[in-house]
Amino acid sequence: MTGQRSDARRNYQHILAVAEAEVAAHGAEVSREQIARIAGVGSATVRRHFPTRRALLEAVFQERIEGLCERAHQLGAAEDGRAALLEWLHALVRYAVSARGFANTLSYEPPTEEPSPHSCGNRIAAAGTPLLRRAIRDKAVAPHVTFHDLLTLAVGIALATEHHKDPETQADRLFRLAVEGLSPEHGIAGASGN
């Protein structure tokens, strides 16, 4: 029995390593069948370890998600709540730009009534929401802003820049623009419909 478990663990690690390389090369749309072929295992073996594409992608991004969550926890002790939130959100945007397929994974996760605590989006929300609440409490962020708004913004920037010749620079520029606003000294008074 122990030999079987260690074989299963080795299979899992091997499939995950292949999946990480394939997602990095081809994005979130890579098929589990292709991963099975490259890993030299049957597609049933891949499906046993990763029953859905989302489960596979969440496993691929697990370590970096933990890093983002840990960074949010560290920033919770920062003196300036707004700066802490923006630093963390900027790190999320940069990661989403650098890790091909990550933004796609998050974009598959609209808020739900009964969220899975293990999903990428929900784990990131659990880590980042305290930073947002603090910034709102400090009156540094508008009270109507939700964490889903911020996640949608980060995903949108990453997806919009992924085919740009210099995606990181363009994503940084768009992030700064989103934070600063188009014309912050004028607010939204001139926008149509207001």
Per-residue pLDDT tens digits for 14-29:
999 999 888 878 877 8
Q: Say how many C-beta atoms besides its own lie within 10 A of residue 48's C-beta.
A: 14
Lowest mean pLDDT among 32-41, 66-75, 126-135, 181-190: 181-190
Per the CB < 8 A criterion, the answer to whether 115 and 70 are in contact is no
Rounded distance, CA 14 to CA 8, Å? 10
Confidence of residue 157 (pLDDT cuts 50, 70, 90): very high
Q: What are phi and psi of 115, to 5 degrees?
A: -70, 150
If one compares 120 and 143, the residue with the highest pLDDT of the two is 143
Per the CB < 8 A criterion, the answer to whether 47 and 32 are in contact is yes
What was the pLDDT predicted at 4? 54
Rounded distance, CA 161 to CA 171, Å? 6
pTM: 0.76
Per-residue pLDDT tens digits for 164-190:
999 999 999 999 999 988 766 645 444
* Whether residue 104 has pLDDT greater than 80: no
What was the pLDDT predicted at 108? 58
Rounded distance, CA 96 to CA 116, Å? 21
